[in-house]
A and B are shown apart, each in its own frame.
Chain A
C-alpha cells in the first residue's frame, strides 16, 4: 500500500501548532498519523478536503467485510501485509462446514451436532468452526428453505447461503437478513439479480469466477449497484491452481492496490478422503483464504487446519500471555511440589503439559512477566527474586503444602540464593527444559 508520509499529511494540516490534538506541533501530529498511531480527525481544525483526500489515500487496500450479527459476527479481510512479520494478519481464515440441501433432517442434525462439538482449547484459546454453509444443489427453493430453517434454528454460527439465483435464495435471505448471512454466488450469468438482492437486504455477497479478470469485472459492475461488501470466490482446475489464484489476488490487492480485487476471499477445499481434505483446507489457510468451505466435520479433519490457522494468525506483536495466578495440575495434596514459571503462554502450557505427563499432582505458580519466556523475562528484569517472592507469597501455595520448597526454572538457577535468603523457602533448581520435568518430579522430587 502506498504509504502516506508525515510531510504529505503535514501539508494538509492547519500548521498552527495549537496543540488541540494533544500533540505539541502539527509536524509531531502528522508523524503520528503517518504511523497510524493517531487519526486525522483528532485535529479539530482539519478541513473537509483534507479529510477526504487523506481518507482515500489511506483507505485500506483490502475491504473488511463483516458476516453475521451481534456476538456471532465474524470480520473478514482488512489485511495489510503479504507476510506476517511485516505487521500482522488481521482476520483469521473462517472455516465453514457445508450442508447441501439434499440432506435429510437426520443428516442435517448429525452434521450440526458434529460442528457444535468441533471446539477445542489450544494454548488457552478456544478454536472452532466459524460458519455453516447451506448450498442449494437441487435448485428447488422449498427444499433449500427447509434445510436453511432447520440449520438456522439449531446453530448460533453465521450462515453462508449458496444458490443458483435470486429465485432460490430470496425468501430465506430476506427472512434472515437481520443475522447478516453471506450470500451468493454472483456470477457472470446472474450478477444483476444477485446484486439487487444483496443491496435490498443489505447483506454481503460472494462473487464467483474462474478467472481473476472475471472477478474484477464483476466486482466493478456490482459496486455500481451499490453493493460494496463483497467476497471473491476464485475457482481453480485443481488445488495448485486455486492456491496460485489466492496468492495473485492477495498480491494484486495489497502490492498493486488494485481496488477491484481488494476484497477477502472464499474457496472450497476438498479431497478424495478426510486426510486430503484437511491438507487442502490447511493449504488454503496458509495461502490467504478468507473463508475455506469443507464437507468435513470430523475432529481429525478439522483440528489440523484449525491448528495451522492459529499458528499463522497469531499476532507476532503481542506476546501470548496467560493469567498470572496459581494453577493446580491434578489434585495436589499437602506434599505436592510447588513449581514456578512465567506467563508466556507457550512456556506455561509446555510446563503444565510436562507436569501432567509426570502424573505428579502439582501447584504451578505463574509470575507475570508480561508474556515473556523465562530467559527473556530474566534478561528484561521481569523475572527477579523480588517478583518471584511477591508472586508466590500472594498466590499462597506455601500455605497449602506441608513443606517450604519452591522449584524454580533451571534457566534462572542464578536467582536461587537470592530467593532463598529473602524468602526463607528452600529453593530447588529444576530442569532447564520442560522436557526434563517428568524425570525430575519422579526421581528427584520429595517433599
Chain B
C-alpha cells in the first residue's frame, strides 16, 4: 500500500485505476441476462441488513456499484462458501418484470423468509431491496409520471422533496419499497434499467454531476435505442429542484414521459 498526499502525484495512478475499472465495466458490456442460466447473489451486507439480498445479473450489477456478475463469479470461484452464490434462474415466471422461479426460491431462504418474490426489471412491483450502500436511488415522481435518479454525492434537495440521505434512511435495511430502488451507476445505462416501467424514457431528473459522469455510456445506450436527444430532456438541478419547476421544464422540452402510460 502506498499513500499519496500530493494531489498532482495522485493523478497518474488515479487515471490508471479508472482505466482498469473501465476495462472491467466494458468486459461485461457485451453480455446480456438472456445469455446465462445462472445469476449470483451478494449477501455481503447482511452483517448489518440481515434480510437484504442483492441479485446480480449480467445487466444489473450490485447496487453498491462494486460487484458485477463477473466479479461475483470470480468471488465464488475463489471462495465457494463466500457471500456470492450462484442462483439457477429456473423457470421464467415473468419475462417483462424479470422474475424467475429459481431466484424466488433462493431469495426466500437467503432473506430469512422476508422476501417471497423479486422482479429484476421493475421498481414498482416487488423491486429489489436495498442494504443501504446504493450508489444512486431511483425514485418515483408521481406528478411527472416519471422517475428521478439521485446519486450519493448529491447533497442538495431533489424534486421529490427529500434529499438523498433522507430517502436512504427510508429505503435501506432490506425492505421492499415499491417506487424506490437503490442501484449502481452502471445499471442506469443498462438495457434492463427499469425496463418493466419503460426504461430510460421514464427518467426526468438527475443531478448534473451524475449526468456528466455517465454521459458517454448513456449516449451510447440511447443511440442504440434510437432515442438520441433524450438526454437533454432530462432536467438537472439547474433546471428544477421542485416538482412544479420540473413539470414546467418537462412540458417545455416535450419529454416523452408525459405521453407514457401511468406508472401505477
Contact = CB atoms under 8 A, between A and B. Distances in A.
B140 A27 contact: yes
A26 B242 CA distance: 12
Nearest to B139: A27
Interface string A19-32: 00001111110010
Interface residues of A, number: 17
Interface of A: 3, 5-7, 10-11, 15, 17, 23-28, 31, 34-35
A242 B179 CA distance: 44
B161 interface: yes
A368 B65 CA distance: 39
Contacts of B157: 24
- Counting chain A CB atoms within 10 Å of each CB, the highest count among B124, B140, B161, B180 belongs to B161
Contact of B161 (A15, A25, A35): A25
28 contacts: A5-B176, A5-B179, A6-B170, A6-B177, A6-B179, A10-B142, A15-B143, A17-B161, A17-B243, A17-B244, A23-B161, A24-B157, A24-B242, A25-B143, A25-B159, A25-B161, A25-B243, A26-B142, A27-B139, A27-B140, A27-B161, A27-B179, A28-B160, A28-B162, A28-B166, A31-B162, A31-B167, A31-B180
Nearest to B242: A24
Interface in B166-201: 166-167, 170, 175-180
Given A6-B180, A17-B243, 13 more contacts: A5-B176, A5-B178, A6-B170, A7-B178, A7-B179, A7-B264, A10-B142, A11-B264, A25-B161, A26-B142, A27-B140, A31-B170, A31-B180
Contacts of B73: none
Chain B interface extent, by class: 20 to 34
B136 interface: no
Contacts of B179: 5-7, 10, 27
B43 interface: no
Contacts of A24: 157, 161-162, 242
B246 to A, nearest CB: 11
Nearest to A8: B178
Contact of A27 (B142, B178, B242): B142
A5 B177 contact: yes
Which 8 A-B pairs have CB atoms at the shortest separation, nearest pair first?
A24-B161, A25-B161, A28-B161, A7-B179, A28-B162, A7-B178, A5-B178, A31-B170
Interface of B: 124, 139-143, 157, 159-162, 166-167, 170, 175-180, 242-244, 264
A417 to B, nearest CB: 25
A418 B141 CA distance: 52
B141 to A, nearest CB: 7
A257 to B, nearest CB: 16
A76 to B, nearest CB: 28
Contacts of A3: 175
Nearest to A19: B161
Contacts of B139: 27
Contacts of B124: 7
Contacts of B243: 17, 25
A62 B141 CA distance: 35
Nearest to A10: B142
B176 to A, nearest CB: 8
Contacts of B175: 3
B184 to A, nearest CB: 22
A395 to B, nearest CB: 36
Contacts of A34: 170, 177
A17 B141 CA distance: 12
B141 A27 contact: yes
- Counting chain A CB atoms within 10 Å of each CB, the highest count among B142, B167, B170 belongs to B142
B127 to A, nearest CB: 10
